[in-house]
């Protein structure tokens, strides 16, 4: 089964992988031929570190998410050096007993941290979707990527990833941390892992807002219940199921790129007037904890359902 990234994060029916390269970044990126865009205007402020202080990329951590009444409904786990590949697995699934293992684990998202991409910035990159162990990969092929600074409304085409684009995948979010909100709009294919035939078309969009203080009323571990977070709002459309939840946006008529779907009546999102369906907040680690917590808070706009991280521990 091919996973949807918004569901993997918000409702824990999938999993993520982060791969952190130990090689020195290549600082000699190249723009598109004939391109004359000042990418220094992507942000007006100085870089303030990276998102690893909010997202557990280097530690083995487990989190269990509960509703407002404390009832568990989701669980995640990070696994550094998964399969001996210097990757970090972020596994999601149905929760077991408190402080226990998964009752059921479902799927994998495959990520990589890539340095000095087309814009000169560092990105968390989505390479594809995998099975529970990450052994089988449904690869992702990027067709278009747009970046918008939400403060200035300056818009940049980041489709061309330079050396970062080698191997496929698409930019998921900036690894660099700035005190400015931004939106990323992504059009991509998900392909068969063997034949590389396009299985579905996907439009995915998120707005990332840093430094949002959020209280977690059900947190039962050590450390403060109110923490600084990074907020993520998401929308997802695919050629199989259309818009997920109550997400929606403008559509346009196009020729179908999928052999099983006729071109007559085929439409894809334009990326304009998109309404979000799901939200997640990643929380900064407390004093002495260099990495943060996934799913400090979750919110589904489709049914007004809120969840919070109740249990979290580190190996």
Q: What is the pLDDT of residues 187-201, one digit of tens each?
A: 999 999 999 999 999
Partners of 203 in the β-ladder: 187, 237
Nearest-angstrom CA–CA distance, 81 and 68: 34
Cα separation values, 255 from 236, 239, 250, Å: 20, 12, 17
Confidence of residue 129 (pLDDT cuts 50, 70, 90): confident
65 neighbors 72 (Cβ within 8 angstroms):
yes
Query: Using an 8 Å Cβ cutoff, are 309 and 219 in contact?
Result: yes
For the four alpha carbons of 236, 237, 239 and 241, in that order, the dihedral sign comes to: positive
Q: What is the pLDDT of residue 84?
A: 67
Task: Please provide residue 69's backbone torsions phi and psi, each rounded to the nearest 5 degrees.
Answer: -90, 0
- Cα 279 to Cα 22, 189, 284, 302: the distances in Å are 31, 23, 17, 11
- Report helix, strand or coil for 162: helix
Average pLDDT of the chain is 84
pTM of the model: 0.87
Distance CA 280, CA 298 (A): 5
Q: What is the pLDDT of residues 105-118, one digit of tens each?
A: 877 777 788 888 87
């Amino acid at each position: 089964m091919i996973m949807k990234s918004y569901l993997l994060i918000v409702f824990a029916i999938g999993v993520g992988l982060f791969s952190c390269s130990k090689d020195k970044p290549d600082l000699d990126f190249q723009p598109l031929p004939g391109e004359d865009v000042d990418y220094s205007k992507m942000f007006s402020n100085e870089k303030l570190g990276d998102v690893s202080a909010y997202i557990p990329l280097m530690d083995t951590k487990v989190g269990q998410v509960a509703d407002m009444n404390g009832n568990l409904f989701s669980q995640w786990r990070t696994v550094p050096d998964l399969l001996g590949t210097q990757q970090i697995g972020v596994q999601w699934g149905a929760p077991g007993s408190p402080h226990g293992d998964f009752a059921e684990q479902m799927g994998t998202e495959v990520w990589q941290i890539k340095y000095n991409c087309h814009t000169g910035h560092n990105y968390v990159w989505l390479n594809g979707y995998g099975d529970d162990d990450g052994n089988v990969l449904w690869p992702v092929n990027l067709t278009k990527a747009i970046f918008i600074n939400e403060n200035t409304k300056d818009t940049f085409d980041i489709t061309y990833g330079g050396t970062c684009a080698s191997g496929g995948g698409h930019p998921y979010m900036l690894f660099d941390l700035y005190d400015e909100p931004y939106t990323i709009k992504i059009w991509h294919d998900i392909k068969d892992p063997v034949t590389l035939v396009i299985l579905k078309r996907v439009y995915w969009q998120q707005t990332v807002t840093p430094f949002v203080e959020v209280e977690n009323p059900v947190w039962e571990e050590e450390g403060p219940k109110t923490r600084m977070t990074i907020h993520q709002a998401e929308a997802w459309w695919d050629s199989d199921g259309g818009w997920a939840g109550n997400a929606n946006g403008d559509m346009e008529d196009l020729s179908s790129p999928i052999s099983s779907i006729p071109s007559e009546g085929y439409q894809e999102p334009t990326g304009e007037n998109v309404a979000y369906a799901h939200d997640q907040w990643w929380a900064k680690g407390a004093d002495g904890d260099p990495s943060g917590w996934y799913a400090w808070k979750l919110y589904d706009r489709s049914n007004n359902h809120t969840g919070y991280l109740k249990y979290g521990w580190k190996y």
